Chain A
Amino acid sequence: MELAVIGKSEFVTGFRLSGIKKIYEVADAAETESAVKEVLDDNNVGIIVMHNDDIGNLPEILMKNLNESVQPTVVALGGSGEGSTSLRDKIKQAVGVDLWK
């Protein structure tokens, strides 16, 4: 399986340098949306790497799907350091206490 990276051109260049081949260079929210849908349907992708801001700009439903999806898993990077908000919410919901911080 492979990693996939979705993001703006300055975000993905570095990942290209590290050798990842499944790169989706997107310019706006609409393109991001279609790229995300495509990757979610791709069985060969195990991990999706995205920038936090791009995830935040997705439609609500897709964002939820993305955060709940286990295979592929989404790893969010950068932004305001809130890559773990979805996980944090989930912990709050399941355990009842905010254990993340």
Chain B
Amino acid sequence: MVLQDVKPTRSELINLKKRIKLSESGHKLLKMKRDGLILEFFKILNEARNVRTELDAAFELATDKINLASAVNGVVAVKSTAFSTKENPEIELSGHNIMGVFVPKINSTGVRKPLYERGYGIIGTNAYIDETADAFEDLVEKIITAAELETTMKRLLNEIEKTKRRVNALEFKVIPELIDTMKFIRFALEEVERESTFRLKRVKARMK
């Protein structure tokens, strides 16, 4: 495919050569970026997988504990205890940069609390509730780690896809088009040259 509206002139050819050079260096850089991103992605992939497994296990454990606590104390008692907690976990987002992708770093405070800071009375409740609270604090901690990793993965994947698309567009569409156009201009210029030589010959022949 030749680009539309090109005039086969020498200056156009020079411009085109410059553009090809630029596109090629851009293509090379983007390719490197893509490879770098995939490398980063692989680093995180395993970690995220492990965290996922841990998270599922923690959730199962926490569900077991709360079921047990509800069975022993009654659902209403567990619920009312749950309403009396005071301290709530806070998370803080900060971020760093991986190859131009802003990746969150989540810091949490106040997830794990000692028994006496939880806010419910110790006398009215029993060990099952404490264990449940423990299990859920653990779970929340895991959720925060998982959220951080999974967000990172999502962002990296988006960026990988975008970069990949760009690399492919340059490689299979933009650069071939430019090269075809360059060929077209070269051919046209050669044609003009041949024509003028031939014309000169004809003139010369006539003059004799």
Contacts and interface: CB of A to CB of B under 8 A. Distances in A.
Contact of A18 (B90, B133, B146, B164): B133
Interface in B48-106: 48-49, 52, 55-56, 59-60, 62-63, 65-66, 75, 78-79, 81-83, 85-93, 104, 106
Given A3-B143, A16-B79, A94-B161, 4 more contacts: A2-B89, A75-B147, A78-B56, A100-B49
A34 interface: no
A77 B59 contact: yes
Interface in B17-58: 38, 41, 45, 48-49, 52, 55-56
B66 A47 contact: no
Interface of B: 38, 41, 45, 48-49, 52, 55-56, 59-60, 62-63, 65-66, 75, 78-79, 81-83, 85-93, 104, 106, 110-111, 113, 118-119, 129, 132-133, 135-137, 139-140, 143-144, 146-147, 150-151, 153-155, 157-158, 160-161, 164
A27 interface: no
B110 A19 contact: yes
User: Could you tell me the dominant secondary structure of chain A's interface residues?
Assistant: mixed
A82 B85 CA distance: 31
Contact of A19 (B59, B65, B75, B118): B118
User: Could you tell me the dominant secondary structure of chain B's interface residues?
Assistant: helix
Contacts of A10: 66, 75
Interface of A: 1-3, 9-10, 13-21, 46-47, 49, 68, 70-71, 73, 75, 77-78, 81, 83-84, 87, 90-91, 93-95, 99-100
